[in-house]
Structure 1
Amino acid sequence: MTKTVDIAALANVLQEAAYKEILPRFRNLGSGDVRMKSEAIDLVTEADEAAERLIKARVAEFAPDALFVGEETVAAEPELLYKIADADLAIIVDPIDGTFNYAAGLSLFGVMASVVSKGETIAGIIYDPLGNDWVIAEKGSGAWFCRADGTQDRLACAASVSLENLVGCASTTYYAQDDRRLVMGNMSKVRIATSYRCAAHEYRGFAAGHFHFLMYQKLMPWDHLAGTLIAQEAGAYAARFDGSPYLPQHVDGGLLLAPDRDTWEELRREVFTV
């Protein structure tokens, strides 16, 4: 039997973390509050760590048996990544997605959580602290834009258009240099290809019908599980570059999302093949 959690409770926890730990530090970080992890564009702040501690503590209260996998926790305990696929119930959290933006005082950042049961993503939440609203999906129940006043709207991906009119987001950071040069040249075939440096807002925009495609290479679960489920529940086609499904245990293989399989195939062939 698939295990789950109270999605409303999880959504409220993300809001609490933002209110108590993230928003008070926004544009108020001191010089010692921001640190580099793997490289200059990979940062962690005091807000990331404090928000994750709060979320972890709250999750332990209403889902004590769940495996908790947070981006900052995994930095200290990498073996947690390999436990997701076999967990009866796992809650995977990105306390601040778009940390580079957040640390720079830019407003494109979000808080994300996904719920995985026996190797399947069954729920996803993306919270926007500044807008104080959520995009939420439970598997088989559609994707929804939820406001703090309780009102909500169902989300639907955009209809596809011709290749030269497609608008989307693509992260080329982890391509090898020659491959990146090729892909960036290929992106001239579409109308707009950009990057918000924040998967949370890219997925929100895609699921709401504002983009036609998203492309990523590095697939850390806290960055993509919630958004991919939300996009699929909004009608999108999503797969890794080789056409296989994207699963919670995957950390590579690339990921491409489009309104339908035909558009996915065209983008893969014309733009993202290396």
Structure 2
Amino acid sequence: MTSLGANDIDWLTDLLARAGSEQVMPRFRNLGDGAVQQKTSAADLVTEADVAAERMITAELRARFPGAVVIGEEAVADDPTLLDGWWKTDQLAFVIDPIDGTFNFASGVAAFGVMLAVVRDGETIAGIIHDPVGRDWILAEKGAGAALRRGDGRESALKVAEPAGSIGAMIGSASWQYMAEPERSRVARNQGQCLGSVAYRCAAQEYRLLAGGHIHFALYNKLMPWDHLAGALITQEAGGHVRRFDGEAYRPDHVEGGVLAATDPDSWQIVREALWRA
């Protein structure tokens, strides 16, 4: 199967909701001894809920879409070679983040999400971010706009904020934790020029703020496909502008170079210049 059918988006949103209700929420604030493990650092965690949700989503995707490529964050953690050329398939490819914001989830903080992106021919064609706590979704199909879908089925269009015009009038999120020095300290310091900042440690919720018109930019140095493909598409379909730090368009095969999402090209340039200013 090389394209999404008319009912596939509804099926995918339901799948993420079921994974949230069956695998994630029963374990929220209810993780037992040994249920949380470190991956690369004390800030990079995996829980039994991440693993269980990814297994469920992966199994159901493979049953519905035979021949599709499925890339999950935890599967790649076990076998990094899964990332080699995954986007080159002529079949659909699904990219899963079973719990984005695992640090928050493991800490009992209700700011996390379940994310899924659909890639075809090296291009993201759909993105869905589910909030298991709020029981709703933000989602987009390429060329069809972005929407907030509530649990009762009602939808409303998502639209980024109007341009603020200057860095001092912007509210944004800058995840500088994975930057090397001196870039890390420079960006962290310069963020103080902004009107305000948010730091949820959760791209799922930060992209929701951006696409919903509540903040003006979101910046990330760590660039893995499960963290950003869905949110980048949703932001673009909501009218936003997403590029790597060097100004190049962000693609599914990119795993370095950082990504900056903003309300429009001019605001993107303002943020890029202000936060890196020596």
Could you tell me which runs of 5 or more consecutive residues in structure 2 were left unpaired when the two chains were aligned.
none
Pairwise CA distance, 1:163:
1.7
Q: CA deviation at 1:84?
A: 2.5
Contact persistence 1:141–1:233 (CA under 8 A): yes
Asked whether the 8 Å contact 2:167–2:194 carries over to 1, the reply is yes
Which 5+ residue runs of structure 1 have no aligned equivalent?
none
Moved more, 253-262 or 82-91: 82-91
The Cα offsets for residues 179-200 of structure 1, whole Å up to 9 and x where unpaired, read as 2111111112211123100000
Question: Is 1:241 aligned to residue 229 of structure 2?
Answer: no
Q: Deviations over 1:75-96 (max 9, x none)?
A: 1121121233202210000000
Q: Does the C-alpha gap of structure 1 residues 273 and 90 become closer, same or farther in structure 2, counting only changes over 3 Å?
A: farther
2:117 aligns to what? Answer: 114
**Which residue of structure 2 lines up, in the alignment, with residue 193 of structure 1?**
197
- Aligned runs of 1:1-274 on 2, under 5 Å? 3-4=3-4, 6-88=8-90, 89-161=92-164, 162-272=166-276
* 1:84–1:116 Cα contact (<8 Å) kept: no
Contact 1:213 1:259 in 2 (8 A): yes
Change (3 A) 1:67 1:259: same
- Higher mean C-alpha displacement, 82-91 vs 146-155: 82-91
Percent of aligned pairs sharing the same letter: 51
Q: Which amino acid aligns with 2:59?
A: A
Secondary structure of the residue aligned to 1:85 is helix
CA contact (8 A) 2:100 2:113 kept: yes
TM-score (norm 1): 0.97
Q: Which string of whole-angstrom CA distances, capped at 9 and with x for unpartnered residues, describes residues 186-245 of structure 1?
A: 112211123100000000111000000000011100000000000000000110011100
Q: Any idea what SS the aligned residue of 1:32 has?
A: coil
Which consecutive aligned stretches of 4+ in structure 1 deviate over 6 angstroms post-superposition? none
Deviation string 1:113-156 (CA, Å, 9 cap, x unpaired) is 00000100000000000111010100000000001211100000
Q: Distance in 1 between matches of 2:9 and 2:94?
A: 11
2:126–2:142 CA contact under 8 A, matched in 1: yes
Aligned residues: 274
Instruction: State whether residues 118 and 124 of structure 2, in contact with CA within 8 Å, keep that contact through their aligned partners in structure 1.
Output: yes
1:146 counterpart letter in structure 2: R
Give the SS at the match of 1:113: strand
Q: CA deviation at 1:2?
A: 5.6
SS at match of 1:68: strand
Rounded to whole Å, the distance in 2 between the matches of 1:133 and 1:64 is 28
Q: Is the 8 A contact 1:157 1:207 kept in 2?
A: yes
Asked if the contact 2:183–2:276 (Cα under 8 Å) also holds between the matched residues in 1, the reply is no
Q: Contact 2:129/2:139 (CA < 8 Å) preserved in 1?
A: yes
For 2:103, the aligned partner's letter is F
Question: 2:106 corresponds to which letter in structure 1?
Answer: A
